[in-house]
Amino acid sequence: MSTLPRFSTIFLAAITTLVAALLYSPLFVPIVSSFFPLSQGNVDWSSPTLSTYVSLAQNHDILAALRTTLIVGLCTVVLSVVSGTLLALYYHGRRAGRSFLQFIIFLPFLMPPIISGLALLIFFREIGLERSLLTVVIGHTVFVLAIVYRTVLTRLQSMSRTLVEASYDLGATGWQTFWRIILPNLSSAMVGGAILAFALSFDETMITILVTGTQSTLPVRLWAMMRLGFSPDINALVALILMFTVLLCVLAARFLIPRQMAAERS
Amino acid sequence: MSQNTDLLTLRSVSKSYGKVPVLHGIDLSIRDGEFLTVLGPSGSGKTTVLRLIGGLEPLSSGEIRLDGHDISRMPINRRPFNTVFQDYALFPHMTVSGNVGYGLSVRHIKRKEIASRVAKALDLVQLGRFADRFPAQLSGGQRQRVALARALICQPRLILLDEPLAALDLELRRQMQEFLKSIQREIKTTFLFVTHDQEEAIGMADRICVMQAGHIRQLGTPHELYYRPNCEFVARFFGENNLVAGKLGTVQGEQRSIETALGRLVCSVSDQPHLKAAPDGAGAFAAFRPEALRLADTRDSDNHFGGTIADLAFAGSSTVATITAGPDSAAQRLRLRMPSRIDGSALKSGEPVSLSFAPHEGHLVLA
């Protein structure tokens, strides 16, 4: 960067600042305003308070939605990590049909969620499956499978083939090699993939609205609340979800990035 | 250590990847307790030989016998061999002692026994202090020694080493060569060592098997290969041999003459019946080492010819002269190696010199 003329450096810095401000300032507004009470439709900036958080904690609808979200998220994580890892293991080193499988796995992730959601809805109706939390979990799993599959496959591909050969060479069986060599080397990729899958499931709205039964998840609940009008609870809820999502992303990065850099160095 | 009995025998072993053949019917016997080096340029099939013996790849045809029993179809994890891989293949999530003990723990040996055998193996490779480190915290030479300890703790009948020194720098490589050799003497286990480095092979091996293009070209002691190569490839591959093409002449006792661009040369054919038996006029090379070529004053000896010094290269303890000899139409470039002297060489570039080599220091290879 030092080779650029001074003027361009300032210009680029200004653009970067502007983009960052445009991206992040809308996020800060609800966070900041969640600490102030509303009076007659306007934010009262004079008296900071935690009352919005208190009323959020007393809102049983929200708490129920949060519990639903966590249940769906955990089930989705378990299902997608197990099936994503198995798919990655099965297709690692196999040429035939791999790009087709990749396409199939990535399609629901890349398609507009409303299309995925509608397709699932029609499918569930055709096979006679009642809309419930089960259908939500299935929908989320189909959606996030690509992330887990990709994360695990990348780690598998960066793993030296001779590790497996060395294990057999030292007398291990296929089962021992899987549990003691392959799985431990995939574990951090699986944890990273699980966190990303959970974050995606936590935020997912469109598919959820279409395939859920009577219970709503947190984002769906939030959406419903917003249609009824602007309430200070929403600011608090958005602030909490934001914090939680950022935390998950930082965690996922911790599990995924250092290993990849180490692999590149060697 | 009874070096006379065969431990492992390969009988017309072939291997192809798809339609590409990499080994063409190899026959090879590995003696119990020896340090056998398989030497060849890349693509010669040397690593494939090792992978077939280790069971990492199936044979295309032929058979491998251990103590006379066919093990060609024995699965890799049941073969009593262990491999030291080129990239060491240490398990990154296990400590040094975890890595070394792996071969025992997968056989469900008791923890106490594993611990004591791991300690013993780590002492042998002088890594006792590093037992609790992870592979990423070790240097290249230390990882190498962990890989060796991990292989020999299982008390294999044969240790397979796949260019284990290739990733180390020169000084460390020399140390590791001596180290490997001393370990091999200590534990009296057969080593099969694959390398493309002829110096490494000469320095370590009891016997060397030279491979090229999926064939074994010669099998013998380093001394035999160095002084009695049996073909042009081995003669050129080992050191900087001088090779002069010609046609075979008459046999006189243990010597045979060859007509070359440098005139008639006489070389030893002792213990090489196929050279004695070759017909007169057959194409061959006279081969002699740079250190066998001498500056000669007298004209009475055999193998005498003139040349011009093209270049002089000081290489520390020795000086190598590149010499052009023979008629202009068939000029030969020869190398002459002589001890360096502190007051410099008496020779100068462009000077005419008179050269010779003793018949017993020259030999013949068929073209």
pLDDT in tens, A239-259: 888 888 888 888 888 877 655
B199 assigned to some structural domain: yes
**DSSP letter at B360?**
G
Please, which pLDDT band fits residue B359 given cuts at 50, 70 and 90? Answer: confident
Q: Which residues of chain B have a CB within 8 Å of the CB of A265?
A: none
Q: Return the SS3 of B328.
A: helix
Mode of pairing for the β-strands spanning B158-162 and B81-84? parallel
Chain A residue with Cα closest to B106 = A172
Minimal C-alpha gap between B83 and chain A (Å): 7
- Under a CB-based contact definition with an 8 Å cutoff, are residues B141 and B175 in contact? yes
Minimal C-alpha gap between B210 and chain A (Å): 26
Minimal C-alpha gap between B205 and chain A (Å): 24
Minimal C-alpha gap between A176 and chain B (Å): 7
- Under a CB-based contact definition with an 8 Å cutoff, are residues A88 and A153 in contact? yes
Euclidean distance between CA atoms B132 and B23, whole angstroms: 42
Indicate whether B149 and B192 sit together in one domain.
yes
Contacts of A28 (CB under 8 A, 6+ apart): none
B248 assigned to some structural domain: yes
Mode of pairing for the β-strands spanning B332-339 and B352-356? unpaired
> CATH number, domain at B349?
2.40.50.140
Q: What is the pLDDT of residue A31?
A: 82
B188 assigned to some structural domain: yes
* Probe site for chain A from B106, B161, B192 (most A CB atoms < 10 A): B106
pLDDT in tens, B89-146: 999 999 999 999 999 999 999 999 999 999 999 999 889 999 999 999 998 889 999 9
A215 assigned to some structural domain: yes
Q: What does residue B54 show for φ and ψ, rounded to 5 degrees?
A: -70, -20
Q: Which residues of chain A have a CB within 8 Å of the CB of B55?
A: 169
Q: Which residues of chain B have a CB within 8 Å of the CB of A163?
A: 89, 91
A172 assigned to some structural domain: yes
Closest CA to B305 of B332, B268, B338: B332
Q: What is the pLDDT of residue B92?
A: 92
User: With a cut of 0.90, is the ipTM above it?
Assistant: no
pLDDT in tens, A34-74: 887 766 667 777 777 788 788 888 888 888 888 999 999 99
Indicate whether B31 and B176 sit together in one domain.
yes
Q: Does residue B194 have a pLDDT over 90?
A: yes
Q: Does residue A1 have a pLDDT over 60?
A: no
Q: Does residue A93 have a pLDDT over 70?
A: no
- Under a CB-based contact definition with an 8 Å cutoff, are residues B325 and B331 in contact? yes
Q: What is the pLDDT of residue B1?
A: 45
Number of domains in chain B: 2
A36 assigned to some structural domain: no
Burial class (CB in 10 A: 0-12, 13-18, 19+), A205: middle
Indicate whether B64 and B210 sit together in one domain.
yes
Element (H, E) at A89: helix A60-91
Q: Which residues of chain B have a CB within 8 Å of the CB of A176?
A: 106
Element (H, E) at B364: strand B362-366
Radius of gyration of chain A (CA): 23
Euclidean distance between CA atoms B130 and B121, whole angstroms: 12
CB neighbour burial string for B312-338, b if at least 16 within 10 angstroms, e if fewer: beeeeeebbbbbebbeeeeebebbbbb
* Cross-strand partners of B29: B9
Number of domains in chain A: 1
Indicate whether B173 and B289 sit together in one domain.
no
B1 assigned to some structural domain: no
- Under a CB-based contact definition with an 8 Å cutoff, are residues A253 and A241 in contact? no
Partner residue facing B150 (CB), from A170, A173, A176:
A170
Extract the tokens encoding A5.
Answer: 């003329």
* Cross-strand partners of B319: B314, B338
Chain A residue with Cα closest to B80 = A171
Chain A residue with Cα closest to B100 = A170
| One-letter amino acid for residue B334 of the chain | L
Euclidean distance between CA atoms A97 and A198, whole angstroms: 29
| Residue that is written with structure tokens 């007393």 in the block | A58
* Full residue range of the structural domain in which residue A254 is found: 52-265
* Probe site for chain B from A163, A169, A259 (most B CB atoms < 10 A): A169
Euclidean distance between CA atoms B185 and A88, whole angstroms: 46
B142 assigned to some structural domain: yes
Q: Which residues of chain B have a CB within 8 Å of the CB of A168?
A: 56, 76-77
Q: Which residues of chain B have a CB within 8 Å of the CB of A171?
A: 77-78, 103, 106-107, 154
- Break chain B down into helix, strand, coil percent, rounded to 5: 30, 35, 35
Partner residue facing A168 (CB), from B77, B107, B136:
B77
Indicate whether B215 and B331 sit together in one domain.
no
CA atoms lying within 13 Å on the CB side of residue A48:
3
A14 assigned to some structural domain: no
Q: Does residue B345 have a pLDDT over 80?
A: no
| One-letter amino acid for residue B324 of the chain | T
* Boundary (domain end) residue, out of B227, B253, B268: B227
**DSSP letter at A181?**
I
Contact A171 B154 (CB under 8 A): yes
> CATH number, domain at A201?
1.10.3720.10
Size of interface A-B (CB pairs under 8 A): 59
Contacts of B249 (CB under 8 A, 6+ apart): B256, B257, B258, B259, B264, B280
Mark out chain B residues that contact chain A at CB-CB < 8 A. Answer: 54-56, 76-78, 81-83, 85-87, 89, 91-93, 102-103, 106-107, 136, 150-151, 154
**Maximal CA-CA distance, chain A:** 76
Indicate whether B271 and B186 sit together in one domain.
no
Q: Which residues of chain B have a CB within 8 Å of the CB of A262?
A: 136
Mark out chain A residues that contact chain B at CB-CB < 8 A. Answer: 160, 162-163, 165-173, 176, 180-181, 184-185, 262
Q: What is the pLDDT of residue B167?
A: 80
Q: Does residue A266 have a pLDDT over 50?
A: no
Lowest mean pLDDT among A218-232, B40-54, B152-166: A218-232
B232 assigned to some structural domain: no
Q: A90 to each of A84, A97, A121, how far by Cα in Å?
A: 10, 11, 29
Q: Which residues of chain A have a CB within 8 Å of the CB of B107?
A: 171
Contact B77 A181 (CB under 8 A): no
* Full residue range of the structural domain in which residue B46 is found: 6-227
Indicate whether B268 and B312 sit together in one domain.
yes
Q: Return the SS3 of B294.
A: strand
| One-letter amino acid for residue A27 of the chain | L
Q: How many residues does chain A have?
A: 266
Contact B91 A181 (CB under 8 A): yes
| Residue that is written with structure tokens 């936590």 in the block | A202
What is the average pLDDT value for chain A, to the nearest integer? 84
Indicate whether B205 and B85 sit together in one domain.
yes
Burial class (CB in 10 A: 0-12, 13-18, 19+), A266: exposed
Q: For the sheet with B61-66, list strands across it.
A: B20-31, B6-17, B61-66, B69-70
Euclidean distance between CA atoms A138 and A208, whole angstroms: 10
Q: Return the SS3 of B33.
A: coil
Indicate whether B278 and B345 sit together in one domain.
yes
**DSSP letter at B109?**
-
Q: Which residues of chain A have a CB within 8 Å of the CB of B91?
A: 163, 166-167, 181, 185
* Boundary (domain end) residue, out of B201, B227, B253: B227
Q: What is the DSSP string of B50-80?
A: HHHHHTSS--SEEEEEETTEE-TTS-GGGSS
Radius of gyration of chain B (CA): 25
Chain A residue with Cα closest to B57 = A165
Give me the mean pLDDT over the B249-277 stretch: 87
Closest CA to B222 of B44, B2, B37: B37
Contact A168 B102 (CB under 8 A): no
pLDDT in tens, B289-330: 998 888 876 665 678 888 888 888 888 888 888 998 888 777
Q: Does residue B2 have a pLDDT over 70?
A: no
Q: What does residue A44 show for φ and ψ, rounded to 5 degrees?
A: -95, 105
Contact B106 A170 (CB under 8 A): yes
Contact A170 B103 (CB under 8 A): yes
B110 assigned to some structural domain: yes
Highest mean pLDDT out of A177-181, B230-234, B261-265, B296-300 = A177-181
Element (H, E) at B27: strand B20-31
